[in-house]
């Protein structure tokens, strides 16, 4: 499927508890320790209310993954802000948190060039806007940035760290990002195929719970 972004088991402040132990990524926090579970989703049922698709992009759950597609051509043409016209799948997770651990896996398609994880403090009206940005780009590499504080005059975006590593379309990757105070740590691993996954996926499907 073209123009898609796929997420598998997004988790905040928790391990991938609903996957078989053999499927769990070899990623452990190094900046902080795991605390109580704030939010977890194994995508084995209807989309949870905490997920909010943005700029008319479209999302659906299928076979244990959350799949995103661009907005329709008609909706893209109607967009007033061409920087946010819905060409790239975009979804917001509405879960209030400060210090936290985010763990998930993602896959991009041929026409989606990057996976972007942004933390927000509301909007430029209700808060300071974006706080941090992790961009994993298939052409330009990886970059972790501090975003400008919209309430602070003269503040600007700042790249804190960058790397030439690039995600490849069609490949699953696992990410663990920690935020604690003013420090951020990101770990990324390539997700190798697991011969037990088909059996595990059947167990996770809603039909298997009947």
Is there a single domain that holds both residue 27 and residue 65? yes
Sign, CA torsion 118/123/124/127: negative
Q: What is the pTM of this model?
A: 0.76
* Residues 174 and 194 both lie in one domain: yes
Task: Point out which residues pair with 186 in neighbouring strands.
Answer: 177
Domains held by the chain: number: 2
Percent of the chain past pLDDT 70, that is, above it, reads 81
Query: Using CA atoms, how far apart are residues 172 and 157, in angstroms rounded to an integer?
Result: 29
Tell me, yes or no, whether 153 and 75 share the same domain: no
Q: List the end-to-end C-alpha distance of the chain, in Å, as a whole number.
A: 30
Q: Which residues are bridge partners to 53 per DSSP? A: 91
Top-confidence residue, 125 or 144: 144
Q: How many CB atoms lie within 10 A of CB 179?
A: 20
Q: Say whether both 118 and 158 belong to one domain.
A: yes
Question: CB count, 10 Å around CB of 171?
Answer: 12
- Read off the pLDDT band of 2 (50, 70, 90): very low
Judge if 155 and 196 occupy the same domain.
Answer: no
Q: Which residues pair with 119 in a beta bridge?
A: 132
From 11-15, 66-70, 87-91, 190-194, the region with the lowest mean pLDDT: 11-15
Residue-number span of the structural domain to which 134 is assigned: 114-167
Same domain flag for 8 and 86: yes
Structure tokens at 117: 């994880």
Digit-coded pLDDT (tens) for 8-59 = 433 333 322 223 334 445 788 888 888 888 888 888 889 999 999 999 999 9
Gap between the Cα atoms of 106 and 69, Å rounded: 14
Above 90 in pLDDT, residue 91?
A: yes
């Amino acid at each position: 499927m073209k123009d898609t972004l796929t997420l598998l088991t997004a988790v905040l402040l928790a391990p991938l508890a609903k996957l078989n132990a053999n499927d769990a990524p070899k990623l452990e926090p190094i900046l902080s320790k795991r605390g109580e579970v704030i939010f977890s989703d194994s995508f084995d049922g209807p989309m949870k209310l905490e997920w909010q698709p943005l700029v008319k992009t479209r999302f659906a759950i299928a076979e244990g993954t959350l799949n995103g597609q661009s907005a329709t051509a008609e909706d893209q043409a109607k967009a007033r802000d061409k920087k946010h016209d819905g060409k790239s799948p975009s979804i917001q997770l509405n879960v209030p948190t400060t210090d936290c651990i985010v763990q998930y896996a993602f896959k991009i398609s041929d026409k989606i060039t990057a996976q972007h994880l942004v933390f927000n403090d509301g909007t430029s009206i209700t808060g300071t806007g974006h706080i941090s940005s992790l961009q994993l780009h298939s052409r330009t590499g990886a970059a972790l940035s501090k975003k400008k504080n919209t309430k602070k005059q003269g503040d600007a975006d700042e790249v804190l760290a960058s790397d030439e590593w690039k995600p490849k379309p069609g490949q699953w990757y696992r990410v663990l990002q920690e935020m604690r105070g003013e420090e951020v740590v990101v770990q990324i691993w390539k997700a190798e195929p697991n011969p037990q996954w088909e059996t595990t996926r059947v167990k996770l499907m809603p039909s298997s719970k009947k």
